[in-house]
Chain A
Amino acid sequence: AQSVTQLGSHVSVSEGALVLLRCNYSSSVPPYLFWYVQYPNQGLQLLLKYTSAATLVKGINGFEAEFKKSETSFHLTKPSAHMSDAAEYFCAVSDSGGNQFYFGTGTSLTVIP
């Protein structure tokens, strides 16, 4: 089975600072990779996905992620944090059939004014 590791269950950044959320996956075959965001009392919302096209993926709200096969990583970044970015972020991987999805334990992002 595949697995996803998110380093750092809590990350704090100052408003305007760089956001970096880390995700590593284990997969023996080319994976499909995703980042989701969850605001309080809401479901998950897709930020971006990687499906074997360009390794640098741009998503909504100014976020982007880079697929690095050699490092089995898919870290999420945003150049300048905004207060509205405070939320829980989840990295996920899927098999090529789309029948199984594996999520990380999530990273809670706090943005300090």
Chain B
Amino acid sequence: ETGVTQTPRHLVMGMTNKKSLKCEQHLGHNAMYWYKQSAKKPLELMFVYNFKEQTENNSVPSRFSPECPNSSHLFLHLHTLQPEDSALYLCASSQRQTYEQYFGPGTRLTVT
């Protein structure tokens, strides 16, 4: 695998389910990010991790819980989501000093 990978690519879950999104980067980067992409809206930066430490949490509801066990892996744990949480969730990584983000293909999440 190369670049940034995300699994699953598609996920349908009920409002009472618990699921997790996984992101893995194979680029040796030291920063990772979660974004939410909804139709007709700008990408929303949700969480930022630098060297495994969370440095930004942009007022994201607690039903979204990130986890970064090491600099190559990033998870987004989901529980009791709402239909408005349906979106494309993108993971990205970068080498902090370059500001160049490399994105994964995203997980298309549908909450029913």
Give chain A's interface residues, CB within 8 Å of chain B.
4, 32, 34, 36, 41-46, 49, 51, 90, 92, 94, 98-106
| B-side interface residues, number (CB < 8 Å) | 26
B44: nearest chain-A partner, CB-CB? A103
B64 within 8 A of A: no
Query: Which residues in A have their C-beta under 8 angstroms from that of B106?
Result: 42-43
Q: Which residues of A contact B4 (CB under 8 A)?
A: 43
Q: Which of B43, B55, B100, B102 contacts A90 (CB 8 A)?
A: B43
Do most interface residues of chain A lie in helix, strand or loop, or is the interface mixed? strand
CA distance A64 to B101 in the complex (A): 18
Contact B55 A51 (CB under 8 A): no
The answer, yes or no, to whether B61 is at the interface (CB within 8 Å) is no
Given contacts A44-B101, A98-B31, A102-B42, 19 further A-B contacts (CB under 8 A): A32-B99, A36-B103, A41-B105, A42-B105, A43-B92, A44-B43, A45-B103, A46-B100, A49-B99, A98-B99, A99-B48, A99-B50, A99-B55, A99-B56, A100-B48, A100-B56, A103-B42, A105-B41, A106-B42
